[in-house]
Structure 1
Amino acid sequence: MAAMNSDLGGLAGRPANPQPNHFESALYGAGPGLIRTGLGAYGEKFLGSSSEFMQSNITQYLSNPQYYFQVNSQYVRNKLKIIFSPFFHRGHWTRITEPVGGRLSYKPPVQDINAPDLYIPLMAFGTYIVIAGYALGVLGRFTPEALSLQFTRGLLGWFLQVILIKGLLYSLGNGEAPLLDIVAYAGYGFAGTSLAMLARIFWGFSYYFIMPWFCICTGVFLVKTMKRVLLGGPRSYERHPSRNHYFLLFLAAVQFPMLFWLGNISGWSSVSRVS
């Protein structure tokens, strides 16, 4: 018997056909499937919530950059008229909405004159740098460093305007405006500043009439725009009307030192009239 057991490789004494453990088999068969299903559901939920977060938070502040460049020549012409003379704008100041994907969305600039765009601010900023370079050349002070300094001044002024408008909106109880909207509103001032600088090159004294006018127009445009933004969403504007009016008045008043500072170039006093 011992030899037989030895020949059988020690299998004697063990059942030839051991009964399967149904509990272990069930765990073995279902385990990977359950894990895959659980991980899949969790991943789906995680990705879904992440996508929802991105959509509701990041896009809220950055929006879609392509939206701000949907312009045509008619829009640019009419928008510049409003920026340069907001007193004569006879239409409303509210933006037009349309249903998109089950929710309301604003129409692009090409379909709504009150929509913010980045085409005009970027073109105005480029014009501002070109005119500054030309003025430096007329003054005999043109150097890459001087032009770089003017470029930095323009960017800093734009950034300060963005911070000012963003802080104002937070103070008035509406800090949810998309960041690119604020960047667009803050950049419209370069249009008037560029024209005032150009006028100063050819006729120095005109600058002191044209620049204050553009400061007033930019201030009025921003005030009317900010009131439209405030009245278009959750706000505390109606609860503190007097305080909010002071804030908006401050925004308009700040345009005077801001735009004069942006339009200032060292040596302006020595500019002579160019024939």
Structure 2
Amino acid sequence: MAYQQGYRASPKHRAPRGPAPTMGDPTQLFDDTSAGMPPQHPGGYPSQPGGYPQQGYDMGGFSVDSIFTDPMANVAMAYGSSMANQGKDMVSKEIDRFVSINKLKYFFAVDTKYVMKKLALLMFPYTHQNWEVRYHRDSPMTPRHDVNAPDLYIPSMAFITYILLAGMALGIQKRFSPEVLGVCASTALVWMIIEVLALLLSLYLVTVHSELTAFDLLAYSGYKYVGMILTVASGLLFGSDGYYVALAWTSCALMFFIVRSLRMKILATASSEGVVSHNSKNRIRIYITVATAGFQPLMIYWLTFHLIR
């Protein structure tokens, strides 16, 4: 903006501010409509007297509070919650049909004292006298209170230890690779599952009723990994001679343990059976027990001989 020649605006002398223009003043460009509106938030939203934005602000015709005040929305939320609870109950029932969580907890109810006694029993079972599982109110006592009760803690830990020991043995022989270790682990797991399924099928085909469950058979089948650990460790420390000595000792001990442990459950007969049926089924039970025990040394050798060179 150009000023007239000879005129110089001074910032110290300003024109006094006059009164605000009123309605009808020809100098006012727009009418003041702020008198009837609530104070504005700095972000442009209408504010409450305390300075906070009003709740339920209408954004283009959509009210946030309408979600919570709409009866249909509340009904839909309640219906969805009930359907989710029903689905959770159905999933839990289906899981309990195949894997009972309460029964699984029983096989892991162990402590350090039980683990030490059980390991000693697996390696030196010949001096043990009482092999019966104790009961309390028609329920078997947990492993921590009865050393004769089967558990899944020792088989699980022994399986993991066997895989780690196999990896170390392969590494010492410079034959380690993730693929070889994976094959070793999967082979051991598959053979144990086949063993359990074969025993269940045998008991079913010969119509032998016993107190054994799939978890019991899995526990007894998994105890072989304790002997496998001792066998592989002896082979790594003392060579092939140590391997075969440990194999013979652990095989005999495990066979004795399996026969004495399963005898109380597989050889148990119902009192209603006749004499002929009693004798014939007892022979079948004896065959199954001996076959199960005799299969353990074969599995120990099959799963460990390739680790010793």
Q: 5 Å matches for 1:185-200? A: 185-200=220-235
SS of 2:126's equivalent in the other structure is: helix
Cα deviation 1:88-117 (Å, max 9, x = unaligned): 212x11111112xxxx11110011111111
Q: Which has the larger radius of gyration?
A: 2
Name the counterpart of 1:47: none
Name the counterpart of 2:139: 105
Report the AA paired with residue 110 of structure 1: R
Report the AA paired with residue 202 of structure 1: L
Name the counterpart of 2:169: 135
Q: TM-score, normalised by structure 2?
A: 0.62
Query: C-alpha displacement at 1:230, in angstroms?
Result: 2.2
| 1:207 matched to 2:247 | no
Name the counterpart of 2:133: 95
Q: Is 136-145 or 241-250 further displaced after alignment?
A: 241-250
Name the counterpart of 2:209: 174
Query: C-alpha displacement at 1:69, in angstroms?
Result: 1.1
Q: 5 Å matches for 1:235-250? A: 238-240=278-280, 241-250=282-291
Query: C-alpha displacement at 1:179, in angstroms?
Result: 1.5
SS of 1:94's equivalent in the other structure is: coil
- Would you say how many aligned residue pairs link Structure 1 and Structure 2? 212
Distance in 2 (CA, whole Å) between partners of 1:63 and 1:215 is 33
Distance in 2 (CA, whole Å) between partners of 1:168 and 1:114 is 24
Preserved contact between residue 210 and residue 268 of structure 2 (Cα < 8 Å): no
Distance in 2 (CA, whole Å) between partners of 1:152 and 1:108 is 30
SS of 2:150's equivalent in the other structure is: coil
RMSD over equivalenced CA pairs, Å: 2.9
Cα deviation 1:206-249 (Å, max 9, x = unaligned): 11111122112112211112111124564978432334333322
SS of 1:87's equivalent in the other structure is: coil
Distance in 2 (CA, whole Å) between partners of 1:172 and 1:79 is 31
Q: TM-score, normalised by structure 1?
A: 0.69
Q: 5 Å matches for 1:229-240? A: 229-232=265-268, 234=270, 238-240=278-280
Distance in 2 (CA, whole Å) between partners of 1:110 and 1:242 is 33
Identity across matched positions, percent: 30
| Among candidates 227, 240, 243, match of residue 263 of structure 2 | 227
Preserved contact between residue 208 and residue 285 of structure 2 (Cα < 8 Å): no
Compared with structure 1, are the counterparts of its residues 130 and 188 closer, same or farther at alpha carbon in structure 2 (3 Å cutoff)?
A: same
Consecutive unaligned residues of structure 1, counting only runs of 5 or more, are 1-50, 270-275
Distance in 2 (CA, whole Å) between partners of 1:81 and 1:200 is 21
Preserved contact between residue 158 and residue 187 of structure 1 (Cα < 8 Å): yes
Consecutive unaligned residues of structure 2, counting only runs of 5 or more, are 1-89
Distance in 2 (CA, whole Å) between partners of 1:207 and 1:63 is 40
Query: C-alpha displacement at 1:256, in angstroms?
Result: 2.1
Distance in 1 (CA, whole Å) between partners of 2:100 and 2:207 is 18
| Among candidates 185, 188, 193, match of residue 154 of structure 1 | 188
The answer to which structure has the higher helix fraction is: 1
